[in-house]
Amino acid sequence: MNALKISIIVGSVRPNRMGLRVGKYLAAQLAQQGVKQVHLIDPAPLNIPLLVNRYDSLTDAEKTPELQELHAKIAESDAYIVVSPEYNHSYSPIITNVMDYFYHNEYYFKSAGIVTYSMGAFGGVRAAGPIRPFLGQMGLTSIPQTLAVPVVQSLLGEDGELLDSATSATLASNTSKFLSELTWFADALKTAREKSRP
């Protein structure tokens, strides 16, 4: 079993959103690759307020139990998978609203993978570009591969199960390569962090 802890951050809170399907699918695929400690971070039930300040600048009263739980999961993670829909040719503000609560301490010298999706043919790829500099500024090393899920409603069911579709084998293969790369980087950086920090 792999000792890595990985958080999957779902970038949508819309009713009947597709994002949760992608998050659940990735959680199951990570488990298949031996990563058992996965936090599927769904911002909807956490009821995360619109950002008014970073977590460490909030008063104790403002640190709701949900925010405290989010903080604990983010802080202990070795890597993050950011799952974003394409909203207006960019990434989802839900990602920013979750991740902006935390800064260097939680993220520095860790890795991140970018997953995008859409109900159209392009898999939300236009969201991926702007996410990368955002992750870099957080102190995260984003892995070279990105994973795009096109026509998500035909590829994944409500529980994140892979549906029978002309492109399901492609998604499975792309996901496997993407997660292998992410866990490789996460492992390498974890080992390096344990040795020293600059």
Q: Which residues contact 37 (CB under 8 A, 6 or more apart)?
A: 3, 4, 5, 6
Query: Considering the rule CB under 6 A, would residue 116 count as an interface residue with ligand FMN?
Result: no
Residue 119 CB, nearest distance to ligand FMN (Å)? 4
Query: Considering the rule CB under 6 A, would residue 17 count as an interface residue with ligand FMN?
Result: yes
Task: Tokens 């939300």: give the residue.
Answer: 124
In the complex with ligand FMN, which residue's Cβ is closer, 86 or 106? 86
- CA 88, CA 92: separation in Å to the nearest integer? 9
Token pair of 106 as six digits: 């939680």
Query: Considering the rule CB under 6 A, would residue 87 count as an interface residue with ligand FMN?
Result: yes
**73-81, 82-90, 134-142, 185-193 -> range binding ligand FMN (CB under 6 A):** 82-90
Query: Considering the rule CB under 6 A, would residue 85 count as an interface residue with ligand FMN?
Result: yes
- List the end-to-end C-alpha distance of the chain, in Å, as a whole number: 29
Query: Considering the rule CB under 6 A, would residue 24 count as an interface residue with ligand FMN?
Result: no
CA distances for 185 relative to 1, 112, 193, angstroms: 17, 9, 12
For residue 155, which amino acid is it? L
**11-19, 31-39, 131-139, 170-178 -> range binding ligand FMN (CB under 6 A):** 11-19
Burial of 152 (0-12, 13-18, 19+ CB in 10 A): buried
In this chain, which of 4, 9, 12, 40 binds ligand FMN, going by CB under 6 A? 12
Number of residues that bind ligand FMN (CB under 6 A): 14
In this chain, which of 89, 104, 177, 193 binds ligand FMN, going by CB under 6 A? 89
Scanning residues 32 to 71, which ones bind ligand FMN (CB under 6 A)?
Answer: none
In this chain, which of 59, 88, 191, 196 binds ligand FMN, going by CB under 6 A? 88
CA proximity to 70, closest of 158, 10, 23, 30? 10
> Order of strands across the sheet with 110-117?
35-41, 2-10, 79-85, 110-117, 140-149
Residue 50 CB, nearest distance to ligand FMN (Å)? 16
Residue 87 CB, nearest distance to ligand FMN (Å)? 4
Interface residues with ligand FMN (CB under 6 A)? Answer: 12, 14, 17-19, 85-89, 118-120, 124
